[in-house]
A and B are shown apart, each in its own frame.
Chain A
């Protein structure tokens, strides 16, 4: 395929992944996930006390809030929050903590159009949520949900060979003929009929599809191919998440509050520690 991407990536290349456990002070788990500049931050609290009106007798109430980077959340945020709740629920064993609340907040860190979250940003929100849930470690899980965005381009010059690309940037998803997000639940199937798998990646099952094509396509295989590419992307994310687990512990020691070097009022510039460039200890690039 002669299609070339603006940033020079191959069709099946992701942007660099960022996984950072944020250790936000007032929640039970938090993490940031990014595909290049497309980033989201998620926090999880729970099981905590639930309001009586939302209490469920046989399982924990799972509450999801999604917030855009700019302005106020509208129906697009509510819709993504509802999808997140639906697609993450199969990965959670909510029945273990009845009459409690599991609270997930996802903060987009990337500007998005008012109408909707582009597929890669939605995928970043999903992956950040899974990381925050893993980081909280307080709700047992059946597996891990990972997601990736896919976009479809049709070349006008050549004879109709559509190009599917993984992890489209915002501008790519705007210009693409079609785009969407696919989320998969990675878990070992324990249903009796299947042989017990021995390889290291557990089986994946589709939990969310959100695929739109602008001019319509009568090619039945296109959706399946997009889904397969999404799965390939999600698999590498699953491995990256697994690699990141040791980072949940052990930050490098914080700089000692050495008053001598600080200003008169004790201002200590911590920027090097917090800024993105120097997060190497907590970041992996794949």
Chain B
């Protein structure tokens, strides 16, 4: 539901409008898992598979588990670095501007990494009213947390690096954050900013006894808990972990391990994308 009110900076519609309701009672999202029962297997892909990244634009043979993601770098002309990532329906664009002079008057010994995330109004099934909300900010915080320790901010006093993420389409918020993190780290590398390593991120949903990696929107809704992990595969360290829902410890560790393994594969793709430019 869009309760917009009057926004003088935009062209306005009616005060209130509602999402269409369908006569079959099915939400537009429940297409793949219409008659799914707990305990059944994942549909359309293996539990350990992530959605395809790449391959559309590169001639390199697909990495196992990771078949078809699009990861392009340097497509925003005026940005210092940029990347676009597409994993089936999730589409995220990211640009890096900087390092540039910090506007704040106080002196800072180390540089600042600023992350802004924006979802297009049409990025999810329910229209998002184009006003910055809490979700934008919490997603930005997660990405910032994942990236901060990878960047040599100590070399950039008084500076700020602006990372702007636009989510064009989002199919599963956790996987979307993971994709955005990969795009952001790749953009930073593309911008020539000194880093300790590329940050790669992956999410896993615990559905019954299984861990489904890179869950889409529908799968997120079936999950009892979701774990999101960001790491620097080159150094073998983790930069951020975030979990929602309720998970037994063993499951959490299992998810973490699976995510990290998959990150190594994604790392290869990201590195390759950078090389190819």
Q: Do chains A and B touch in the complex (CB under 8 A)?
A: yes
CB of B12 closer than 8 Å to a CB of A? yes
Of the candidate stretches A67-75, A173-181, A212-220, A276-284, the one touching chain B is A67-75
- A74 CA to B7 CA, complexed, in Å: 7
Q: Which residues in B have their C-beta under 8 angstroms from that of A74?
A: 6, 8, 11-12
CB of B44 closer than 8 Å to a CB of A? no
User: How many residues in B have their beta carbons less than 8 Å from beta carbons of A?
Assistant: 6
> Which residues 33-78 of A have a CB within 8 angstroms of B?
72-75, 78
Q: Which residues in B have their C-beta under 8 angstroms from that of A75?
A: 8-11
Q: Which residues in A have their C-beta under 8 angstroms from that of B8?
A: 72-75, 78
B8-19, CB under 8 A of A: which get 1 and which 0?
111110000000
A72 and B6 form a contact (CB under 8 A)? yes
Closest CB-CB distance, B130 to chain A, in whole Å? 13
> Which residues 1-30 of B have a CB within 8 angstroms of A?
6, 8-12
Question: Which range contains the number of A residues in contact with the other chain?
Answer: under 10
Give the dominant DSSP class at A's interface: loop
The residue of chain A having its C-beta at the shortest distance from the C-beta of B7 within the complex is A74
Closest CB-CB distance, A133 to chain B, in whole Å? 26
Closest CB-CB distance, A76 to chain B, in whole Å? 9
From B6, B8, B12, residue with most partner A Cβ within 10 Å: B8
Q: Which residues in B have their C-beta under 8 angstroms from that of A78?
A: 8-9
From A72, A74, A78, residue with most partner B Cβ within 10 Å: A74
- A74 CA to B6 CA, complexed, in Å: 9
- A75 CA to B13 CA, complexed, in Å: 13
- A75 CA to B6 CA, complexed, in Å: 11
Q: Which residues in B have their C-beta under 8 angstroms from that of A73?
A: 8
> Which residues 101-138 of A have a CB within 8 angstroms of B?
none
Closest CB-CB distance, B160 to chain A, in whole Å? 18
- A78 CA to B8 CA, complexed, in Å: 9
- A186 CA to B190 CA, complexed, in Å: 53
Q: Which residues in A have their C-beta under 8 angstroms from that of B10?
A: 75
The residue of chain A having its C-beta at the shortest distance from the C-beta of B12 within the complex is A74
- A73 CA to B11 CA, complexed, in Å: 11
Q: Which residues in B have their C-beta under 8 angstroms from that of A72?
A: 6, 8
- A78 CA to B9 CA, complexed, in Å: 8
> Which residues 64-104 of A have a CB within 8 angstroms of B?
72-75, 78
- A189 CA to B9 CA, complexed, in Å: 39
The residue of chain A having its C-beta at the shortest distance from the C-beta of B8 within the complex is A74
- A181 CA to B9 CA, complexed, in Å: 24
Closest CB-CB distance, A115 to chain B, in whole Å? 8
Closest CB-CB distance, B8 to chain A, in whole Å? 5
Q: Which residues in A have their C-beta under 8 angstroms from that of B11?
A: 74-75
| Given A74-B8, A75-B8, A78-B8, 10 additional A-B pairs, CB 8 A | A72-B6, A72-B8, A73-B8, A74-B6, A74-B11, A74-B12, A75-B9, A75-B10, A75-B11, A78-B9
Binding site for B on A (CB under 8 A): 72-75, 78
A-B contact pairs, 13 of them (CB 8 A): A72-B6, A72-B8, A73-B8, A74-B6, A74-B8, A74-B11, A74-B12, A75-B8, A75-B9, A75-B10, A75-B11, A78-B8, A78-B9
The 10 closest A-B pairs by CB, nearest first: A74-B8, A75-B11, A72-B8, A73-B8, A75-B10, A72-B6, A74-B12, A75-B9, A75-B8, A74-B6
